Chain A
């Protein structure tokens, strides 16, 4: 195979499978006709088109729960980061801290309401093959607990900022993120297999409430960080937990993750509100 043909094949391969089945052959011919191997701008345009097609696949057809689920997974990861960040700063900015918890509860409760009809459809066994995905979070959580116990045992007696302790923390964090991602993936697979039940207006309202809760939690975390700084400037320099010590970096990382989750949630809400 020539390098030109390989480039064309690679560019077509960047598109989603459904898109390739419909347009792949004619698109490959167009790339050949346009002599794309001689025109880097067209290669970039094709890659952008592939990215848009992936985005379109996520947003097309019936309103998908993939976006709310991934938004919730990102939100949960940021929420755990916030909990670790705030655990050493108890008694500071308590109102903003409570607001974070309330907004997060609203967001996750709304997601549960949005997904409830799908869960109800799962129980009577109308999508028997979807049950195997339920094992993913259970096995993942058990594996994560095992990793955390081993890491804790291996670092017993070490100081907070010692090398082994940092490595153990990183292992626990990465494993936890992996379990969250696997759970989100399993949830989307389940939701693809069960019928999208329940009134569309309720679903749209629930996803909107979820996005609103996420945005509220993001704002509350912003206020919380500012209040912590105003109330106890030493919190930025003290030798506390692994996340709390580089406070500003950790706080910004949590805020960015919450913002990203809120944006994903808002996009999902818009899609669910406008979908038929």
Chain B
């Protein structure tokens, strides 16, 4: 399924979507993404995404729980995810509409 998602399987977007449900640490994010999107995020890919999102202020790290550190969506992250989802929704609607009227 991950391959089918194409560019929408971009790790940053998947991480933001996962954190929209609530704060999660790295392993919980990979499990959630695998379960919900069918995409296996490797550890290097996940932490590259986490670092990039954190640097852009879209997520923030919470105090560590043992050796695990949960991350949560910031207001900016929620706005970014919302904008991306809206863009995807418009594109999906447009695609489906045009496919329906396509001459056969």
Q: List A residues at the B interface (Cβ < 8 Å).
A: 11, 19, 23, 25-31, 33-34, 36, 41-42, 44-50, 52-53, 56
Contact = CB atoms under 8 A, between A and B. Distances in A.
Question: Is chain B's interface secondary structure helix, strand, loop, or mixed overall?
Answer: helix
Nearest to B41: A45
Contacts of B51: 19, 23, 53, 56
A45 B45 contact: yes
Contacts of B25: 26, 30
A30 B48 contact: no
A101 to B, nearest CB: 43
B8 interface: no
A173 to B, nearest CB: 37
B44 A30 contact: no
A48 to B, nearest CB: 5
9 contacts: A26-B25, A26-B67, A33-B26, A45-B44, A45-B45, A47-B44, A48-B42, A48-B44, A48-B45
B26 A52 contact: no
Contacts of B42: 41-42, 44-46, 48-49
Given A23-B51, A49-B48, A53-B48, A30 B43 contact: yes
Contacts of B27: 29-30, 33-34
A154 to B, nearest CB: 50
Interface in B44-75: 44-48, 50-51, 64, 66-69
Given A23-B51, A34-B27, A34-B30, A29 B68 contact: yes
A205 B64 CA distance: 44
Nearest to B69: A26
A42 B43 contact: yes
Given A23-B51, A33-B27, A34-B30, A49 B67 contact: no
